[in-house]
Structure 1
Amino acid sequence: MTVETLGRESSWEGVRAVVGGLGVSGFAAADTLQHLGASVVALDDGDDDALREKATLLEILGVDVRLGSGSTARLPEGDIDLVVTSPGWRPSTAILLEAAARDIPVWGEVELAWRLRGEGAAPWLAVTGTNGKTTTVQMLEAILRAEGLNALAVGNVGTPVLEAVMNPEPFDVLAVELSSYQLHWSSSISAEASAVLNLAPDHLDWHGGLDAYAADKGRIYDRTQLACVYNVQDAETERLVEEADVVEGCRAIGFTLGIPAPGMIGLVDDAIADRAYITGRLSSAAELGSIRDLAAADGELPAPHNVANALAAAALARAHGVAPRAVRDGLRSFTPDAHRIAEVARIGGVRWVDDSKATNTHAAQASLQSFEHVVWVAGGLAKGASFDELVIATRDRLRAAILVGRDRALVAEALARHAPDVPVVEVDTGETDPMDRVVEVAASLAREGDTVLLAPGAASMDQFRNYSARGDSFAAAVHRLRDRP
């Protein structure tokens, strides 16, 4: 018996599977494999209250759960047929190298989900990219639902793909956000349509370099059935389409902030124009809505990168056959998540904006380029990235920079090299939350008409639980400033 041949209707009795990590995806994998009849061992080096609660639930079901330091040092003794890895575990993790040496298949939760789809399963519209993935799949979900489809945004966005695939009430279509980590451990996914939104250096410490990172992103295009969607303004995404092994008849569809050529979706003035999915695309276009459909409640138009996200979502939805009206109605109904260029307050003519989700330099650059004069709050865990290109591209917008976190010196050094006239303040509060001090300094530096922008360009885990906690702390500090007598 080999697990490579097993699917949803197969008997998994006799299969011994190891699940690495008990995060959201690991819990779903352990639960599902046990339900299918496999013998499951779940491993996690952590041992906090949340993990123990998950462990208790899994143990009631019959999963062998091993928590605590050293639990993931090596594979359990005995024969093992499959390892399902946490998406955050590096390929160099000891038990993954051990699995490879023993020719044991290593899958991610997403790969397992693909293999467990039932007959007539919902097609996948898959999205990856350095930035914009979550926003795009949420826009895509809104468009699909406007068409009347039972659709759900899943994957790296929150709901595990496996949970959606195993749902007893099947979906019509899934909008699937995939990280480079998840794609690295996927080998058989065949999306109906797929997109790489953009490519910039990120997670280089995990992948070992930019080429490996790009190659893992490009895996999303392999075996795509109908449409490979690429960013006309990012030539690397088109190159990945050209190199992909797709299903015969699959088309390359570009999205652009400019006027679209045939085979693209783009902009004509404020209108979203489709020259990809209409029969007369050589000489005409179909209007899918307007960028004003994405305007905020105060009428402010979206930043260019969010327009690009909307164009990519439209291209994927149109590949699935939705009507132009659904694109317009879906974008009108879309509400972005917190911590994505979210205005916190306006105090004395200064705008305070939380973009804590900008956890890499590419996202921070897009955020900074959305405002004319910025007091920039940056720093955290750089993940192997350089800040030089970011500073060069945005230095004319910077009023000042306030730097926090473990790798703040990298940002300071880039500013010293490329923007020496920009005032820089480093805030070091040790283990304590720095945001009250950050906001105090920012208020002293900002002038009327400026934007104080939290767009760190780095991950948060050196000082905060996650980027949401970092954004919440910033917003709370701003509100305390606003409420002072």
Structure 2
Amino acid sequence: MGSQEVTSWQGKNVTVAGLGVSGIPAARVLHGLGAVVTVVNDGDDERSRTQAEELTAEGISVRLGDGATLPEGTELVVTTPGWQPDKPLFAAAAAAGVEVWGDVELAWRLRGPDAAPWLAVTGTNGKTTTVRMLASILEAAGLRTAAVGNIGVSLLDVVTGDETYDVLAVELSSYQLHWAPSLRAHSATVLNLAPDHLDWHGSMEAYAADKGRVYEGNQVACVYNVADKATEDLVRGADVEEGCRAIGFTLNAPAPSQLGVVDGILVDRAFVPDRQKQAQELAEISDVRPPAPHNIANALAAAALARAYGVPPTAVRDGLRAFRPDAHRIEHVADVAEVAYVDDSKATNTHAAEASLAAYESIVWIAGGLAKGATFDELVAKSAKRLRAVVLIGADRALIREALARHAPEVPVVDLDRTDTGAMSEAVRQAARLAEPGDTVLMAPACASMDMFTNYNKRGDAFADAVRELGASA
């Protein structure tokens, strides 16, 4: 980072909106650059007070329980992703002519002159898996890289740290993109678009527009999903650098400028000398784990971004083979009495659950939780023919039960009127009773977990524990 950037922060009054995983690093980085930092936070609980004490000891001001008021003299607001755009603080900033940046915008602005280019991934589902696949492919090509962004490793830590990288695999949420107007990626993809976080964005159009920001200013490739026209529409609407190409990925045979699948082989007709007549083999479907359709799509998107960066075909194959999916993402737990038990607790919305349900032929589905404003008619209608039976848990299970009554009335439903954590054991026992040899008991809730569990990881752990109990008693 050049001295010019450091000097420009000296004495600058910056307000950081929110404590937490991105607010605290932002406050510390800005303070380290010489800015006068004030953190404002809605909450005033024990955890917030502990965090505030630590920051105050470092010379950073913190105001707890008052996230609505813009501190006097503020010259810039840096917000954490969770803060909704309609917050009074942002209205006050707009009225005062003060810019609002997100943590990603701050990281982008703080990059040094020789900073690694970003390969950016967003979408409703599959972001983390795709970014980790991409990093694995880049590593297989011998490149220094890291999977960063919304994935747990702070972009701020990476761009201000001492380690150097050739290229970064960056996961970006719609929240982060909303507050990142300057971001210009080397290449980027929107994996898919489905209604999610509409309470935050206000409408599907606003949500899609924020996702589409990832394509702005792309240099080499805008990678879109052929099966999801909305993603291609976002590419058409993007203002990109001259020579940047639209590259599609598809589960079918690819057309020119696409990656796809032919006879069980992932092939590239985009980054080859003659894309009208040539196709380059990249990997086999069996190299992708798990080889569910939506995960093959993730692999193709990762491969497209890596190929846009110039990675050789062998690195795509080797990177996909080396990749191990995270826990609770279509994770096979065990087989009990010839029935497979699969944990997809990460399927916290209908789009993710639909992809999961599409991977199996005959399913006893465990579903339910917090719906977050979602509706379930389309999901149930598309998946009805695969359902042997359904076990419902959680606060908003009635919404799924009503959709099942409308679109799959013949499917047996067990409605567990419980939201305690022990309900998962009962759900697994009921599912086992309904399943037949060859079936899959799939826990893909299509809902958030917080009505019953701390997070989706705890929910997945509860499912796995219940399956192991079942196996022990079988």
Letter paired with 1:39: V
Give the equivalent residue in structure 1 for 2:51: 54
1:71 aligns with 2:66: yes
Are 2:91 and 1:94 aligned?
A: no
1:166 maps to 2:155: no
Distance 1:74 1:285, change over 3 A: same
Instruction: Tell me by how many angstroms 1:81 deviates.
Output: 1.1
Q: Aligned pair in 2 of structure 1 residues 48, 446: CA closer, same or farther (>3 Å)?
A: farther
Q: Which whole-Å CA distance do the structure 2 matches of 1:28 and 1:10 have between them? A: 20
Counterpart for residue 154 of structure 1 = 148
Tell me, what secondary structure is at the counterpart of 2:373?
A: coil
The answer to whether 1:445 aligns with 2:434 is yes
C-alpha spacing 1:190/1:7, structure 2 compared with 1 (3 Å)? farther
- Work out which of the residue numbers 409, 425, 429 in structure 1 matches 2:398: 409
RMSD: 1.7
Residue 17 in structure 1 maps to residue 6 in structure 2: no
Instruction: Find the partner of 1:204 among 198, 206, 228.
Output: 198
What secondary structure, in the 3-state scheme, does the structure 1 residue paired with 2:335 have? strand
Q: Deviations over 1:279-311 (max 9, x none)?
A: 121211111122221256xxxxx0011101000
Equivalent in the alignment of 1:299: none
TM-score, normalising length from structure 2? Answer: 0.96
CA shift at 1:184, angstroms? 1.0
Asked whether 1:320 is paired with 2:309, we answer yes
CA drift of 1:433 comes to: 4.3
1:44 positional shift? 2.8
Is 1:254 aligned to 2:251, yes or no? no
Q: Name which of structure 1's ranges 357-366 and 460-469 shifts more when overlaid on structure 2.
A: 460-469
Q: 1:114 to 1:246 in 2, by over 3 A?
A: same
Whether contact under 8 Å (2:419, 2:452) holds in the other structure is: no
What pairs up with 1:54-453 in 2 under 5 angstroms? 54-67=51-64, 70-76=65-71, 78-295=72-289, 302-453=291-442
CA contact (8 A) 2:6 2:34 kept: no
Instruction: Give the partner amino acid of 1:288.
Output: L
Spell out, residue by residue over 1:164-195, the C-alpha distance to the aligned partner (whole angstroms, 9 max, x if none). Answer: 11111121111011111111111010000000
Structure 1 contact 9–118 (Cα < 8 Å) conserved = no
Alpha-carbon distance in structure 1 between the residues aligned to 2:419 and 2:260: 47
Partner secondary structure for residue 473 of structure 2: coil
The 3 A distance-change label for structure 1 pair 7 and 188 is: farther
Shift of 1:56: 3.6
Residues in 1 aligned to 2:152 and 2:41: alpha-carbon distance in whole angstroms: 20
- Residue-pair matches, total: 472
The offset of 1:51, in angstroms, is 4.0
SS of the residue aligned with 1:253? strand
Aligned partners of 1:316 and 1:143: how far apart in 2?
10
TM value normalised by structure 1:
0.94
SS in 2 for 1:140: helix
After superposition, the C-alpha distances for 1:321-371 in whole angstroms (9 at most, x for unaligned) are 111111111011000000000011111111111001111111100100111
* C-alpha displacement of 1:103: 2.1
Kindly provide the amino acid, as one letter, of the partner of residue 36 in structure 2. Answer: S
Tell me, what secondary structure is at the counterpart of 1:154? Answer: strand
The residue identity in structure 1 corresponding to 2:458 is: A
Q: What is residue 3 of structure 1 aligned with on the other side?
A: none
Kindly provide the amino acid, as one letter, of the partner of residue 76 in structure 2.
Answer: L
Q: Alignment partner of 1:364: what SS?
A: helix
In 2, Cα distance between equivalents of 1:133 and 1:7: 35
Distance in 2, Cα, partners of 1:280 & 1:290:
22
Q: In the alignment, is the contact (CA less than 8 A) between 1:19 and 1:42 conserved in 2? A: yes
Task: Name the % identity.
Answer: 60
Give 5+ residue unaligned stretches, structure 1: 1-5, 297-301
Is residue 394–residue 419 contact of structure 2 (8 Å, CA) maintained in 1? no
How far off its partner does 1:52 sit? 4.3
Structure 1 position 54, deviation (Å): 3.4
**Does the aligned pair in 1 maintain the 2:141–2:315 contact within 8 Å?**
yes
In 2, distance between residues paired with 1:136 and 1:409?
33
Query: Aligned partner of 2:368: which letter?
Result: G
1:259 to partner: Cα distance: 1.1
Q: Distance in 1 between matches of 2:108 and 2:70?
A: 25
> Is the Cα contact below 8 Å between 1:131 and 1:197 reproduced in 2?
yes
The worse-fitting range, judged by mean Cα deviation, of 389-398 and 207-216 is 207-216
1:318 is paired with a residue whose SS is helix
Partner of 2:473: 484
Give the direction of change, closer, same or farther, for the CA distance of 1:409–1:100 in structure 2 (3 Å limit): farther
Contact conserved, 1:380 with 1:456, CA < 8 A, in 2? yes
CA shift, 1:406, in A, is 2.2
The letter of the residue matching 2:238 is A
1:463 matched to 2:452? The reply is yes
1:14 CA displacement: 2.0
